[in-house]
Amino acid sequence: MTSTGVKGTAEPTGSPAAWPDTYGEEARPRMGFFTDTSICIGCKACEVACKEWNLIPEDGRVWTGESYDNTSHLNANTWRHVAFVEQRKPLHLDGDTVTLTEPGDGQPEPLRWLMESDVCKHCTHAGCLDVCPTGALFRTEFGTVVVQEDICNGCRYCVPACPFGVIDKRDLPRSPDDAPLLMDMLGKKEDGRVWKCTLCYDRLKGGHEPACAKACPTNSIQFGELDELRERADKRLEKLRTERWNGARLYGHDPDDGVGGFGAFFLLLDEPEVYGLPPDPVVPTAHLPQLWRSTALAAAAMFVGVAAAFVGGRE
């Protein structure tokens, strides 16, 4: 249960710091998700299964007006979120499909729906884990990032440290299922702790796949060893490009990116921004070593200046 070190974020290696070495014989292969959006049908079975298994409160039944969607984004009460994006673009780029045409030429306009089940990325270099002062966030033996709710003090340092806006504070009243002593101390105050996807850590320890992957009817959410998933994703991308699918690309697949690669990566059919994802995410703590060096140099310069002024004043 050790956080990612600053050195690891400054020099990305593609492997999470403190894993698997700290677990010794208990370490397991790094597990994760490969979400293939090309076969997502937007059924939201993953959202429902996630809420049911993890006993997540409802996040409001509000029609956002943004899409066929009433969750809008990931937060403390939504650990899986299916985005719906309507586009005037063809699904394929070949002679057998409708291509972009001028208005009024008599041909139907192209139309496609992009659907993507978003989730915590379980980053190789996780900013949330780096900044947690209590150890509530830790790297599991499966290489995933989990919050220990009985240790979280609600400081929320992790919230701005996540480049994806995944982790968030829960504003709802605390659950009666919390420890009685905790309830006596805090009464009926709002929860205040942070929550996010655990990749169903309890299920993994029992040898089961996460609830969302289990419920997905099209196998859009694929669970397994991360190295094997990356190989599978490469083959899937090659197939889609051979079939000339419009915009197919992998997101979070590269271990040399700004977070060292995702533990939950995606095959998208357009730019990440279309799905509400950052195009080039970087873990904020990657800049800490440079900041500390600059601070040290400034402090040293100030010390030399003060010493020089003191010596000069005595003369």
- Please report whether residue 74 resides in a domain: yes
Q: What is the mean pLDDT of the chain?
A: 84
Q: What is the pLDDT of residues 194-238, one digit of tens each?
A: 999 999 999 999 999 999 999 999 999 999 999 999 999 999 999
Nearest to 17 by CA among 149, 185, 138, 161: 138
Dihedrals phi, psi of 34, to nearest 5 degrees = -120, 115
How many Cβ atoms from other residues are within 10 Å of residue 8's Cβ? Answer: 21
- What is the model's pLDDT at position 296? 62
DSSP-derived pairing of the beta strands 31-36 and 221-225? antiparallel
- Please report whether residue 224 resides in a domain: yes
Range of the domain at 36: 6-294
Q: Under 8 Å CB-to-CB from 20, ≥6 apart: which residues?
A: 27, 28, 30, 141, 143
Q: What is the pLDDT of residues 30-52, one digit of tens each?
A: 999 999 999 999 999 999 999 99
- Please report whether residue 312 resides in a domain: no
- Please report whether residue 311 resides in a domain: no
74: domain CATH number is 3.30.70.20
Give residue 2's pLDDT band: very low, low, confident or very high (50, 70, 90). Answer: very low
Q: What is the pLDDT of residues 115-168, one digit of tens each?
A: 999 999 999 999 999 999 999 999 999 999 999 999 999 999 999 999 999 999
- Please report whether residue 88 resides in a domain: yes
Number of structural domains in the chain: 1
pLDDT at 17 over 80: no
- Please report whether residue 314 resides in a domain: no
10-14 average pLDDT score: 49
Nearest to 174 by CA among 191, 193, 186, 187: 191
- Please report whether residue 102 resides in a domain: yes
- What is the model's pLDDT at position 179? 52
- Please report whether residue 92 resides in a domain: yes
